Structure 1
Amino acid sequence: MGYLSTTTTATIGLIHAYITLLEMYYWDKPRGIKTFGLKPDFAKQTKPLAANQGLYNGFLAAGLFWGAFHPVEEFAAQIRMFFLGCVVVAGVFGGATANTRILFVQALPAAVSMGLIWLWG
């Protein structure tokens, strides 16, 4: 399937694992407030919502790692494509509804990784 598509999928998994930590544990801390451009009062009020959102990002990270390290190439490609597709959809939706930066942090890298799988998978 290619070292490059494995690496990009795992990297996107790491990004989502980091987002999970930010949303679940650091949302109302200085790192989360700075990363997401929040006001402290807003961060405190929305912490449960952010933790729920972080949990979903954790599921995406788990699926991306599963696909990146699955031992059977045929299954790995399908798993990667599914979870990367989920990231693209979530990134496009987030970019349209929350912050256009999400398009470049989530959707674009996942789309590139899908292209690598399509080319070499």
Structure 2
Amino acid sequence: MILLFSKIIIGIVALLHIYFLWLEMFAWTTKAKKVFRTLKEDLFEPTKTLAANQGLYNGFLAAGLIWSLIIQDDAWQIYVGLFFLGCVAVAGIYGAMTASKKIFWVQALPALIGILLLLVHQFL
């Protein structure tokens, strides 16, 4: 049961990062303006390339999380899940410290919950 909950959390975190990819790579000068209200309007166009690069990294995180869900070997599934959730958690904590506290709640906390669930499952 715990493994099922961890897979659900991993799926949610992966979907969030697919959304971040889309937002930063394809909707930076449109939809992102409503999401990132603290950024001045005139900064979106000049930072478009930087945002797209950041979106690509979010896509890699999503790909790794999705990969962890389809690995057949139980141990490797957990190891890969822990690695990518750890990457997401570190990025979320750093983002919360440097950009916005909201990033902790949206990005880091779900990843930390996923890590906790995977560790509990592994040691039960």
Q: What TM-score range do you get, normalising by the shorter chain? A: over 0.9
Distance 1:118 1:107 in 2: 16
Q: Verify the 8 A CA contact 1:13 1:64 in the aligned structure 2.
A: yes
Give distance in 1, aligned partners of 2:43 and 2:111.
Answer: 30
Structure 2 match to 1:20? 21
Aligned-pair identity in percent equals: 43
Match of 1:117 in 2: 118
Instruction: State whether structure 2 residue 49 is matched by structure 1 residue 48.
Output: yes
Structure 1 unaligned segments of length 5 or more: list them: none
Matched letter for residue 32 of structure 1: A
Distance 2:26 2:95 in 1: 20
- The size of the alignment, in residue pairs, is 120
Runs of 4+ in 1 over 4 A off after TM superposition: none
In structure 2, C-alpha distance between the alignment counterparts of 1:45 and 1:99, rounded to whole Å:
21
Q: Does structure 1 residue 70 correspond to structure 2 residue 98?
A: no
Q: Which has the higher helix share?
A: 1
RMSD over aligned CA atoms reads 1.1
